[in-house]
Amino acid sequence: MDEHTGTGEQDEPVEDGSTEASAEARLTGLLLQVRSDVRLGIAGDPGTMLRQRLSDAGFDVDDEGFERLLTEVTR
């Protein structure tokens, strides 16, 4: 059972320091993960995956910013 929610489900990272990362560090890690998934063929559509991961992580990115990030992960 999870000590934080009591539900047996993990609803947050459990590594020490994982909740202390800056927004920039979290975004960098997210982009590295998406880039890796794209290169491994795990991402059916890189744009859809990137949008979902950004949303899941709480990042609100405008269309111009999204296109820049998408270019970064697909180059």
Low-confidence ranges of the chain (pLDDT < 70): 1-19
**pLDDT exceeding 90 applies to what percent of the chain?**
60
The secondary structure element, H or E, covering residue 36 is: helix 23-40
19 inside domain: no
57 inside domain: yes
Domain containing 64 equals 45-75
73 inside domain: yes
In the prediction, which pLDDT does 8 show?
63
CA distance 27 to 15: 17
In the prediction, which pLDDT does 14 show?
58
Q: Maximum CA pair distance of the chain?
A: 42
**pLDDT exceeding 70 applies to what percent of the chain?**
75
27 inside domain: no
28 inside domain: no
Q: How many domains does the chain have?
A: 1
Distances (CA, A) of 56 to 3, 20, 50, 74, 75: 22, 17, 10, 20, 23
In the prediction, which pLDDT does 43 show?
75
5 inside domain: no
